Amino acid sequence: MHFLDRRVLLISGKGGVGRTTVTVALARAAARAGKRTLVCEIANPEGGPSAIGRLLGLDGVGPEPVAVGPRLDACHLWARTGHARFLQSVLPGKALVRAALRSRAVDKFLTAAPSFHEMGLFYHLLTLLRAERDGRRRHELIVLDMPATGHTLALTGLPEILLRLMPTGPIAAALREGQAVLNDPDQGAAWVVTLPEQLPVTEAIELLAGLSETEMPAGGVLLNRMPPDPFTPAERAALDGWIEGRQVFGEVAFRRIEAAAEARARLEDRVEVPVLTLPELGDEPVPGLVGALANYMAVDGGGR
Amino acid sequence: MTGPVARMLEEKRVVVCCGAGGVGKTTVSASLAIAAARAGRRVLVVTIDPSKRLAETLGVERNPPEPVPLPAERLAAAGIVEGTLAAWMLDPKLVSDRVVENFARSPEDARRLLDNRMYRNITAMIAGLQEYTAVEALHGFVMEDVYDLVILDTPPSRDALRFLDAPDRVAMFLDRRIFNLFVPGEGSAIRRMATRLIEKVMDVAFGEQTRRDLQQFFDLFGGVLDHLNHNQHEMRAFFKQPDIGFLLVTSPAREALAEAGFFARKTRDELKMHLCGYVLNRSLAAQAGYAMPDPAALPDDADPALRSGLSTLAGLARVEQQKVAEHLALAADLETRAGDGFAWVLPMLGGGAGDLADLVHLADVLVAERPPGHPDSEETP
């Protein structure tokens, strides 16, 4: 099965590895390959700039998917949207729904009470997975840019944690419904974006080890910004001795190429999932990344 | 020690390192700590979510309950003679457990809260609590007076913002009014109505059991809350003291620089905290004055592989030379932005800084009189 043939891909990775850029490129590549695709970002509760919006040239991104290209939509996950939709679906009677949605107390509570923020995000994602249009799924693939912090594992393991906390009631049913998609290896996968450097590779290996302890299937690693290696082995060996102790331009680049190859070898050695290498590109890397990802799709069975 | 970074390490009691993810904050924090300890201070470096390798380099385990002093042989290897250096990887769960134990209304309440299903599973999820516990821990260390200097490596990016805002942010969750709404049987008729509405919504949507767990959680957490609310004001004042300095760490990447600018506005202009300056990490500015590799300068009988390798290297070198010029301009720009503060440059190390020798090298660069590549620097390579 092709790596894009899923319902939902969670893209995680530490800050500074180009995670959002890769997420957008992946979504673009999928759309170009013919999939109706939605790219999502978790809204910063404090507001603030949208990384995805900047890359897609959108002024503002909201909770409703908007078209950003052929077969490609974008939106934010909003906890508040998830809460409202959930309450609408479960509360009996319009009067209670209205009262609940209008109540500042309920709103404040859902915003501030532990784990209810995450529950709202999760439910919003679930409604996007369920969405239909013209009698078919509105989006065949949802690509979700995960937050940079250590919460990635908390979020991928989220349905399990929430189910422990809220084992009964309609929320449990909704959580199980979402979990059935995310945790099914045919439908959901988490990908880790990292760089060909020592520390980021170590972190990616650790993140995958952590993932294996959750129910979330691991898709693979996207090794971003791999520098091209223009040297033959003989040239490299000769330069290695020559450059030692000299203060010449190019030394940092030369050492970096060596270090990147080592880091990649270690990564491939230590993880059991596929490692897709993406090239180092300039200031506007998305088009080049889309091309590189399209190549992987061609090699790997051509998508669809 | 003569330069402005050295002075900061001498004068401050706390240095908070902020910056985007991936700029090397943890490495800079550790190097600063080593530099200060080498100058004879008793230093603690507190880091959140560090890389395993850095923990190994400093010779400490992950998430220990207390700060771990560096083993003697590592102190010696780092050239630390009079000073001391301890490191602590902050475990937010541990700190919040401690807060509960110390500040619940009774030991019985503390035990019930620690056993509460909500508390056990979601402490890490409470918005701002993790950052708040970092502030609590930091404050505790400063008050204890065991260390002359505490260096705090903040969580990356948006989280660091949370950290700066921690008191306000936690306040939202810790708002007594929300708590009271959820603890039945008290207050005015309007409040009781609101409570009944929440109960009804909760019971239908999330199940009665969840509602009861939450009610117990909110009820028991009340005592802890009062303590945290009280401390909030103290913390806010604490961070404005002149001996608490903020340091913005950035890389030459555009996003990282934008983030640093944001932190500068936030810390200095908005929160009125003391901004010491910038550290431009992973910079090529130190390479100013390097030579271009020239295959034509090789002797006639040189290895052909070396000759062709050098021709290829020359292409990479031209790009690098260009970058050096850009990084120098960047450093000059940061110096202007820093105002009274400093802009310091740290070199890019081959495989990424990691071992103790690398950190000691960076520590030396930090406490020099001038940053590498600076136009006023006396020595050029």
Mutate to test the interface with A, among B23, B47, B49, B158 (most CBs of A within 10 A): B158
Please report which helix (H) or strand (E) contains residue B175, including its range. none
3-state secondary structure of B70: coil
The reply to whether B320 touches chain A by the CB within 8 Å rule is yes
Please indicate, yes or no, if residue B57 is contained in any of the structural domains. Answer: yes
Q: Under 8 Å CB-to-CB from B251, ≥6 apart: which residues?
A: A16, B20, B22, B23, B24, B280, B281, B282, B283
Closest CA to B342 of B287, B271, B278: B278
Strand-pair partners of B156: none
Residue B61 backbone class (left: φ over 0; alpha: ψ -120 to 50; beta: rest): beta
Q: How is residue B283 written in tokens?
A: 């910079």
Please report which helix (H) or strand (E) contains residue B372, including its range. none
Query: Can you give the residue range of the structural domain that contains B39?
Result: 4-172+239-288+300-367
ipTM: 0.79
Please report which helix (H) or strand (E) contains residue B171, including its range. helix B157-174
Please indicate, yes or no, if residue B322 is contained in any of the structural domains. Answer: yes
Distance of alpha carbon A254 from alpha carbon A227, whole angstroms:
10
The percentage of residues in chain A with a pLDDT greater than 90, rounded to a whole number, is: 57
Please indicate, yes or no, if residue B231 is contained in any of the structural domains. Answer: no
pLDDT band at A301 (very low <50, low <70, confident <90, very high): very low
* Residues of A with Cβ-Cβ distance to B21 under 8 angstroms: 14-16, 148
Residues A231-278 have pLDDT tens digits of 999 999 999 999 988 999 999 999 999 999 999 999 999 999 999 999
Residues in chain B where the model's pLDDT stays below 70: 1, 48-54, 59-63, 92, 122-133, 155-187, 228-229, 231-233, 350-354, 377-381
The one-letter amino acid code at A132 reads E
Please indicate, yes or no, if residue B189 is contained in any of the structural domains. Answer: no
Mutate to test the interface with B, among A83, A96, A109 (most CBs of B within 10 A): A109
pLDDT band at A180 (very low <50, low <70, confident <90, very high): very high
For chain B, the domain total comes to 1
Please indicate, yes or no, if residue B220 is contained in any of the structural domains. Answer: no
* Residues of A with Cβ-Cβ distance to B292 under 8 angstroms: 248-249
Please indicate, yes or no, if residue B192 is contained in any of the structural domains. Answer: no
The mean pLDDT of A68-89, rounded to a whole number, is: 93
How close A254 comes to chain B (CA, Å)? Answer: 8
Q: Under 8 Å CB-to-CB from A126, ≥6 apart: which residues?
A: A82, A174, A177, A178
Please indicate, yes or no, if residue B29 is contained in any of the structural domains. Answer: yes
Q: What are the structural domains of chain A?
A: 8-299 (3.40.50.300)
| Residue B244 belongs to domain with CATH number | 3.40.50.300
Please indicate, yes or no, if residue B168 is contained in any of the structural domains. Answer: yes
